Structure 1
Amino acid sequence: MRTSTSQFQLLVDYMEKHGDLSKPSDGPHGKELNTRRWAELTQLLNADATGVTKNTDKWRKVWSDLKNNTKKKAARIFRAGAGTGGGPACKIKLSDLEQRVLSITGTRAATGIVEIPEVGLEVG
């Protein structure tokens, strides 16, 4: 059995509410809070009977894989859009869930720094 659509929704909902748990918050209790939140999320995900039951480390891996696959897909779309043309149009689209993941991680994670101002001599 695999992670269900419902579990993916729960995972992304939780991350939108609490932030990306793969990046623990700073402060004296940041790591402790992060550990508690992962435990809470694990319970929530495992309570969903539509999918698989996993331990916290496996749910961390599911989140990591979801983020990485989404970033790769977004990067492919960005590269196709930034190309010079001449080839077939890019038919890849991000799902609603993937767009939500990208909003949590930030688009810069997938596309890099898009606009860097040029530095040069002013001709006057």
Structure 2
Amino acid sequence: MERKMKITNNNQFAQLVLELEKNPALAKGFSKGTVPKSQWQDIASAINALGPPLRDGEGWQKVWRDLKCKVKRKLVHNKQECRATGGGSYKQLVLSPLEEQVANLLQFGKQLNGSRCSQKWKLHEC
């Protein structure tokens, strides 16, 4: 039996970020117990209203984890590029507006650069 890959559309990603901006603790994964499951189900119903693909709360939670991982991986790569010495080309990755929203929501700047990082990202500067 072959599994069909579900491809999330841009409107669903945007709605996911909007829903999680309302609850930053849930976005960061700080909630415990059964409350997050019901919150994820509420988020799922709001996102599923935008059309296929349809997922349950756990499915959208996995999409969120994957998006967070992708954004953080890009930011770590960019930080490594800033610290690189020697020749070669400059290979920083550009973040989309949605990815910048995720980075700001999760405060990845503080995690990667310490508390001295400003609230607004200066993504293209080293």
1:84-103 residue pairs with structure 2 within 5 A? 84-103=85-104
Q: Give the number of the structure with larger relative contact order, counting CA–CA contacts within 8 Å between residues 6 or more apart.
A: 1
State the alpha-carbon separation in 1 of the partners of residues 30 and 108 from structure 2: 20
* CA drift at 1:110: 6.2
Inter-partner Cα distance in structure 2 for 1:92 and 1:75: 10
Check conservation: 2:81, 2:92, Cα contact below 8 A. Answer: no
Query: Which amino acid letter does the alignment assign opposite residue 24 of structure 2?
Result: G
Return 5+ residue gaps in structure 2 as ranges.
1-5, 117-126
> Within 1, Cα distance between the matches of 2:102 and 2:86?
28
Moved more, 65-74 or 99-108: 99-108
Distance apart, 1:69 and its partner CA:
0.8
Deviations 1:4-23 (A, max 9, x none): 10000000111112114252
**Structure 1 stretches (4+) deviating beyond 3 angstroms?**
30-33, 112-115
Q: What is the aligned counterpart of 1:19 among 24, 30, 36?
A: 24
* Percent of aligned pairs with the same amino acid: 27
Give the alignment of 1:78-117 within 5 angstroms: 78-108=79-109, 111=112, 113=114
Q: Which residue of 2 aligns with 1:77?
A: 78
Q: Look at both structures and tell me which one has the larger radius of gyration over its CA atoms.
A: 1
1:39-81 CA deviation, whole Å, 9 max, x = no partner? 11010111112x3001111111100000001100111011101
Q: Alpha carbon RMSD of aligned pairs, Å? A: 2.3
CA distance in 2, matches of 1:114, 1:107: 10
TM-score if structure 2 supplies the norm length? 0.75
* Matched position secondary structure for 1:94: coil
Matched positions, count: 110
Kept in 1, the 8 Å contact 2:103–2:109? The answer is no
Normalising by structure 1, we get a TM-score of 0.76
